[in-house]
Amino acid sequence: MPVRIGVAGWSVPTQLAAEFPSTGTHLERYGTRFSAVEINSSFYRPHQHKTYVRWAASAPPDFRFSVKLPKIITHEQRFIGCQDLVARFAAETSGLGDKRGPILVQLPPSFAYPGDIAEQFLHDLKVAINGPVVLEPRHMSWFQPEVDLMLKRQHVSRVAADPARFTSALQPGGWGGLAYFRLHGSPRIYESPYSAEAVQAHANSVAALSACGTDVWTIYDNTTFGAATQNALELIAALQALKHSPSTITD
């Protein structure tokens, strides 16, 4: 199944410029090495439909964009009275066409599971988007069996995040058709690079999930000093090595 690897944002770090073509926009250069990107700026401000159209036109045919839901929906109104906001967001991001990937719904740590309100909101969002949705809750109340069942009913995947507030947040949950990893750097969030051992361990997990029929996304968000781009390139190389390594057969 598809494995997509990318970074939160498509800037090309100066120290890694030689890994990319020397000409083209940042997105065009980025798209020669990666199959996906996460748009986080949409969390803070809306983008016009024509902006998404332009971005889609700058990316290769098989490229995909995940897009973060605006904070006014997730952090301010907390799913209440958001129909018009969701409709606007869906219309804007439709400019990506078939290159629109998962919609990322990241919740504030203080947002406890609101029961039926959450299920209705996710249902309505799925209808409006007509595409995949991934949820990153950060309050312990979301990490319960009944919430996992709700997410499975709505075909919504729970994001696996590192560093995680809870051990259960390290692994994907909810609907199993899509696994979405957000790796922010550890021990220093947004700054620390992942070691070669950590990248290899993640490559093993990605390969296992993909072999089971799961679509797998990995987004590195340790972008402050360019580690995200380096780690994403290392993950691609690790997965290629796994793909071409001989199988181990035991009797």
Angle between helix 83-93 and helix 116-129 axes, rounded to 10 deg:
30
Which SS3 state, helix, strand or coil, does residue 131 take? coil
Residue 205 identity (one-letter amino acid): S
At 244 the pLDDT is 79
- Architecture label for domain 3-176: Alpha-Beta Barrel (3.20)
Pairing of strands 173-174, 156-158: antiparallel
Contact 178, 209 (CB under 8 A): no
Per-residue pLDDT of the chain (251 residues; tens, 9 = 90+): 689 999 999 999 999 999 999 999 999 999 999 999 999 999 999 999 999 999 999 999 999 999 999 999 999 999 999 999 999 999 999 999 999 999 999 999 999 999 999 999 999 999 999 999 999 999 999 999 999 999 999 999 999 999 999 999 999 999 999 999 999 998 999 999 999 999 999 999 999 999 999 999 999 999 999 999 999 999 999 999 998 765 433 32
User: In sequence order, what are the beta bridge partners of 218?
Assistant: 5, 181
Strand order through the sheet with 36-39:
160-162, 178-183, 215-220, 3-8, 36-39, 64-68, 100-106, 133-136, 156-158, 173-174
Q: Which of 167, 168, 157 is nearest to 217 (CA)?
A: 157
What is the rounded CA–CA span in Å between residue 251 and residue 247?
13
Q: Which of 198, 180, 200, 194 is nearest to 227 (CA)?
A: 194
Q: How many CB atoms lie within 10 A of CB 224?
A: 13
pTM of the model: 0.95
User: In sequence order, what are the beta bridge partners of 179?
Assistant: 216
Domain segments of the chain as ranges: 3-176
